[in-house]
Amino acid sequence: MHSGSDRHFAHPARGPGRAPEPGYEPEPGLVVGVGARSGVSVAEVLGLIETTLRDAGLSPCDLIELATAESRTGEAGIAGAAARLGVPLRGYPATLLAGIAVPNPSGAPLAALGTPSVAEAAALAGGGELLVPKRKSDAGAGRRASVTCAVADRSQSEWNRRGRK
């Protein structure tokens, strides 16, 4: 699932498609939560992420991981986007995501995965502050968006504010 630098894989809790293990220490930086329909393309996922970061005045250089529902980590479009961005892909169980309060819950992921949010909840699952609420890809006339994303700043998490070095 990952190609390129393995700089984000030093901690044993960090691996593609894995939820944090006990003792996980969140790394400060930006996390993009991604929700997607099955069969989404890498180009659509990357396009939304790049547009979202640019529009918010955020740098892709500060991105430390993509996060999604555990059941979506095998989606070629999401995994491919993480690989192209050079960051790990972390999957969270839908039951964990369902317990995270978000500003924009939706019936679509609730029906499909059992959680009212994937993008916002996954972005927030490791702690931090939501910088960019859920955005949808531009699917074109007459088509529904296939991708959503949200951005959280993990350097604003309680753990990182307590003086981690």
User: What is the C-alpha to C-alpha distance for residues 92 and 99, in angstroms, rounded to an integer?
Assistant: 11
This prediction has a pTM of 0.79
Q: Are 162 and 131 in contact (CB under 8 A)?
A: no
pLDDT value of position 15: 39
Neighbours of 104 (CB within 10 A): 14
Helix, strand, or coil (residue 84): helix
User: What is the C-alpha to C-alpha distance for residues 38 and 18, in angstroms, rounded to an integer?
Assistant: 19
pLDDT value of position 54: 97
pLDDT value of position 26: 55
Q: Are 122 and 35 in contact (CB under 8 A)?
A: yes
pLDDT value of position 88: 97
In this prediction, the residues of the chain whose per-residue pLDDT falls under 70 are 1-27, 139, 141, 156-165
